């Protein structure tokens, strides 16, 4: 990372907040700690505050925030929390935020900047979402005006995205450092009928203890290729953003100096061993295009056909013999029978999948599934069974050892 970047004096009311899917706290914290250790030798990671089941917070440090917004793959949002209020009605909320704005220095706003306010999970507040958004917007604009700084609203293309959340009775007001969900990396040009969100794929890799230095990774039903693409990117610790996308925070005064336009891979020498497989030739071509956009196509072996043609012997012929591979991981998001797959035929498919995995002695196997028939049909006791919502689907992540 850039040496000598300006360190913002600590503000006890400012936090770096990472928001992810349900149950992601420990995984998000572990990933960020690994990235910061590699990227910065001048930062000591504090212990995060865990907030609910999908959010962690640290005292704000621009250096840690920069690593998070550039490289962190298991979070859905990277936020700079700048204000908070315990108010339960609109008038006190406005008063609290206005008073906070008068204490804020222009490190995240500036004369002439535009902003847009979005609210998430504020149903518990004693007013509607639009009212909450309006009060937060007015408090920020009025508070800046009292400092002689003119701000305006641009709902679609603002300079600053403001994120408002209600967490454990507190209204949190934050700047969204990416300006968009972190899973919108920019490489997935096509996704098929049932796409797996990129941050969820990264979560699966972390939960399965994927080690790119040792593991051969096989996705037998790979679809758009999200899992193997994320595995390649995490193996090298590549920057999150593809296709020329840049995070919104590059416009902020606090980030204006020393922000390089590219994010070098932190583990560029790692050579992952990745096998993509799908029975649909159209899906294979879609995955090829996505991997190419992500810059990892050369690290993935693409295969077409029923997963049962991927024998242990074939995998070892490709990756065995002195290349350092001593273990393996089978990881997939198989059909659930809801958006894709014939529900009546899926139990037999799950049994076949379990039998095929059993031929890979010494491997681990992880699956994200929302189908009550999966566990019995797979016919093996998981070492980990963790709820892991996939959008509106109440999926479960299963991890097995063979």
Mean pLDDT of 295-302: 96
Which pLDDT does position 7 carry in this prediction?
A: 47
Task: Read off the DSSP letter of residue 193.
Answer: S
Specify whether 265 is located in the same domain as 353. yes
Specify whether 162 is located in the same domain as 214. no
Specify whether 71 is located in the same domain as 204. no
> Which CATH number belongs to the domain containing residue 74 in this structure?
3.30.2130.30
Which pLDDT does position 257 carry in this prediction?
A: 76
- Between the CA of residue 402 and those of 328, 330, 365, what are the distances in Å? 10, 11, 8
Query: Which tens digits make up the pLDDT trace of 236-266?
Result: 999 999 877 889 999 999 988 766 667 899 9
Kindly state whether residue 292 falls inside one of the protein's structural domains.
yes
**Taking all residues of the chain, what is their mean pLDDT, rounded to a whole number?**
91
**Which residue among 112, 143, 176 closes a domain?**
176
Specify whether 169 is located in the same domain as 203. no
Kindly state whether residue 351 falls inside one of the protein's structural domains.
yes
What is the C-alpha separation between 105 and 364, in angstroms, rounded?
51
- Strands 327-332 and 384-387, bridge-based pairing: unpaired
Which pLDDT does position 337 carry in this prediction?
A: 59
Is there a contact between 386 and 397 (Cβ–Cβ < 8 Å)? yes
Which pLDDT does position 18 carry in this prediction?
A: 98
* Upper half-sphere CA count for residue 183 (Cβ side, 13 Å): 19
Specify whether 101 is located in the same domain as 211. no
Give the residue numbers spanning the domain of 166. Answer: 15-176
pLDDT at 288 > cutoff 80: yes
pLDDT at 3 > cutoff 50: no
Specify whether 321 is located in the same domain as 208. yes
Which pLDDT does position 210 carry in this prediction?
A: 97
Specify whether 172 is located in the same domain as 244. no
pLDDT band for 336, please (50, 70, 90 cuts): confident
Tell me how many domains the chain contains: 2
Closest listed residue to residue 198, CA positions, set 270, 293, 336, 305: 293
Kindly state whether residue 367 falls inside one of the protein's structural domains.
yes
Which pLDDT does position 260 carry in this prediction?
A: 67
76-88 CB burial, b ≥16 within 10 A, e <16: bbbbbbbbbbebe
Query: Which tens digits make up the pLDDT trace of 370-392?
Result: 999 999 999 999 999 999 988 88
> Which CATH number belongs to the domain containing residue 369 in this structure?
3.40.50.150
Query: Which tens digits make up the pLDDT trace of 140-191?
Result: 999 999 999 999 999 999 999 999 999 989 999 999 999 999 999 999 887 7
């Amino acid at each position: 990372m850039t040496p000598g970047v300006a360190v913002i004096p600590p503000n006890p009311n400012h936090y770096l907040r990472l928001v992810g899917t349900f149950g992601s706290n420990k995984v998000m914290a572990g990933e960020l700690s690994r990235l910061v250790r590699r990227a910065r030798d001048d930062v000591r990671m504090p212990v995060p505050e865990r907030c609910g089941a999908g959010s962690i917070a640290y005292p704000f440090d621009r250096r840690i925030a920069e690593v998070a917004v550039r490289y962190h793959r298991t979070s859905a949002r990277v936020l700079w929390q700048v204000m908070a209020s315990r108010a339960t009605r609109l008038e006190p909320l406005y008063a609290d935020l206005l008073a906070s704005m008068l204490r804020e220095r222009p490190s995240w706003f500036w004369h002439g900047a535009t902003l847009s306010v979005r609210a998430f999970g504020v149903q518990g507040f004693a007013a509607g979402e639009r009212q909450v958004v309006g009060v937060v917007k007015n408090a920020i604009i009025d508070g800046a005006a009292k400092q002689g700084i003119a701000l305006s609203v641009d709902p679609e293309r603002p300079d600053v995205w403001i994120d408002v959340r209600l967490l454990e009775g507190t209204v949190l007001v934050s700047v969204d450092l990416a300006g968009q969900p972190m899973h919108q990396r920019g490489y997935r040009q096509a996704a098929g009928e049932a796409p797996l969100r990129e941050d969820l794929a990264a979560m699966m890799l972390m939960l399965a203890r994927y080690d790119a230095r040792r593991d051969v990774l096989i996705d037998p039903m790979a679809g758009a290729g999200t899992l193997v693409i994320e595995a390649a990117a995490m193996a090298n610790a590549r920057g999150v953003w593809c296709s020329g996308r840049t995070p919104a925070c590059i416009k902020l005064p606090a980030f204006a100096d020393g922000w390089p336009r590219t994010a070098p891979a932190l583990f560029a020498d790692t050579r992952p061993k990745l096998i993509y497989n799908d029975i649909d030739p159209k899906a294979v071509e879609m995955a090829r295009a996505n991997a190419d956009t992500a810059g990892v196509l050369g690290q993935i072996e693409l295969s077409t056909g029923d997963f049962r043609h991927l024998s242990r012997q074939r995998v070892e012929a490709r990756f065995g013999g002195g290349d350092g591979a001593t273990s393996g991981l089978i990881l997939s998001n198989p059909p659930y029978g809801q958006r894709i797959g014939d529900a009546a035929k899926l139990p037999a498919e799950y049994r076949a999948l379990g039998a095929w995995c059993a031929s890979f002695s010494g491997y681990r196997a992880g699956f994200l599934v929302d189908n009550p028939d999966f566990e019995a049909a797979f016919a093996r006791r998981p070492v980990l069974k963790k709820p892991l919502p996939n959008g509106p689907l109440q999926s479960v992540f299963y991890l097995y050892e063979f």
